[in-house]
Amino acid sequence: MTTTLIRNADVYAPEPLGRHDLLLGGGKVLWIGTDAPDLPAAFGAQVMDLAGRRLVPGLIDGHVHVTGGGGEAGFASRVPAPTLSRYTRSGVTTVVGLLGTDDVARSTRELVAHVNALREEGLSAWGYAGGYHLPPATVTGSVRADLAFIDCLIGVGELAISDHRSSQPTLDELLRIASDAHVAGLMTGKAGLLHLHLGDGPRGLDLVRRALDQSELPPRVFNPTHVNRRKALFDEAIELARRGCSIDITAFPVDEGEDAWSAADALVRYLDSGAPRDRVTISSDAGGCLPCFDAQGRVCSMDVGHSGALVDTLRELLARGIALQDALPAFTSNVAGLLRLPGKGSIAVGADADLVALDATGAVTDVFAGGQLHLRDGAVLRRGTFESQDT
């Protein structure tokens, strides 16, 4: 068992705790205090002095194309799967994988395999059954059975609405899928969410509002993402958060003058709105294609999402004067609470030893995932199985 004593950390758990020492062992935080004793040499503890750097929970990226995304512009536009250190260099220690537009050539079986591979490499990883389309892509033929019998699958998504690439689901179809996710969550203790991809169509979140108005399903089941892609859509999303939904902001690039909010702008607007602070999360769409379409629905340009957008957004928020303890929950504790991931999203005795040290600018310097050191002073110590040293 690897044991590490971290000294002189300025801990944000995500609430500020001040200067503390921490003892890690067995993948957990074993002790937190203000004056750690010298441990006997026979104990074999690795000692690491952070010299006052801020120590925060490992970031949770709740929307990642772990198999790679894309495919809207032909097979050559399929995005490769991100490698392990692409996450850890960005301070991400937990990912939730999903399928997008391509839920045919890419399958739920492949998704589960990639999730398990990341677990073997030291990352915490889960996934969603399904993809953009109906009927949802599954392993067993049923999303309820997938969630009941496949450990790593915790919900359904990303089902597309208000998008020309979607299956154009009706209200009844949406409710049936949401019900399956909810009941499976009740059976298993998993999140049981319906994670909804939002396109830029004019219907916006109307289908979700109707689902809340016309069914008995709890609002938390409906979890729309990409809600900052249009400014009016974001206003709709804030109102859904007031009704009990959790909304997910995407950290994608936004050009000046574009009818969208950057992730930093969106979070500031959300916090200023007075909506419940625990009902907003930020994800990266890592590994996914970020396409632009012409009037005929053809791809005219594309970019690729990356987990580094999370820490970039966090650094922008800090540079704008947002307190770290106000910004952090959207990347950590809010995500863990929504997805029902015990031991994640906070720094506490008994919690998983997923920890990230930040320098004065908010850049990632050191990363522990499951108590194992992946990054030290910015240098990658652990790489994925097929990563080259130049990756």
Give DSSP secondary structure letters for 187-245: HHSS--EEEEEE-S-TTTTHHHHHHHHH--S-GGGEEEE-TTSSHHHHHHHHHHHHHT-
Residue 390 known to be catalytic: no
Residue 67: CA atoms inside 13 Å, Cβ hemisphere, count? 27
Closest residue by Cα to residue 251 from 241, 270, 264, 260: 264
Stronger pLDDT, 38 or 255, i.e. the higher one: 255
Say what the pLDDT of residue 291 is: 61
Q: Which residues of 270-284 are buried (b: 16+ CB within 10 A; e: fewer)?
A: bbebebeeebbbbbb
Say what the pLDDT of residue 93 is: 98
As a dihedral over the C-alpha atoms of residue 248, residue 250, residue 256, residue 259, rounded to 10 degrees, the angle is -50
pLDDT band at residue 273 using 50, 70 and 90 as cut-offs: very high
Q: Residue 301: pLDDT above 80?
A: no
Say what the pLDDT of residue 306 is: 84
Say what the pLDDT of residue 302 is: 62
Say what the pLDDT of residue 221 is: 98
In three-state secondary structure terms, 29 is strand
Q: How many CB atoms lie within 10 A of CB 15?
A: 13
Q: Residue 325: pLDDT above 80?
A: yes
Q: Residue 368: pLDDT above 60?
A: yes
pLDDT band at residue 288 using 50, 70 and 90 as cut-offs: confident
Q: Residue 211: pLDDT above 90?
A: yes
Q: Which of 79-93, 257-271, 352-366 has the lowest mean pLDDT?
A: 79-93
Catalytic residue among 285, 312, 354, 366: 285
Return the bridge partners of 366, or none. Answer: 357
Tell me: domain 3-56+345-380, CATH 2.40.30.10, correct? Answer: no
Q: Residue 52: pLDDT above 60?
A: yes
Q: Residue 127: pLDDT above 70?
A: yes
Domain map (residue ranges) of the chain: 3-56+345-380, 59-339
Say what the pLDDT of residue 2 is: 79
Record: fold of 59-339: TIM Barrel (3.20.20)
Say what the pLDDT of residue 364 is: 98
Distance from C-alpha of 22 to C-alpha of 139, rounded to nearest angstrom: 42
Residue 380 in tokens:
């990658």
Looking at residue 71, what DSSP letter applies?
A: -
Average pLDDT over residues 124-151: 97
Percent of the residues in the chain that have a pLDDT greater than 90, as a whole number: 82
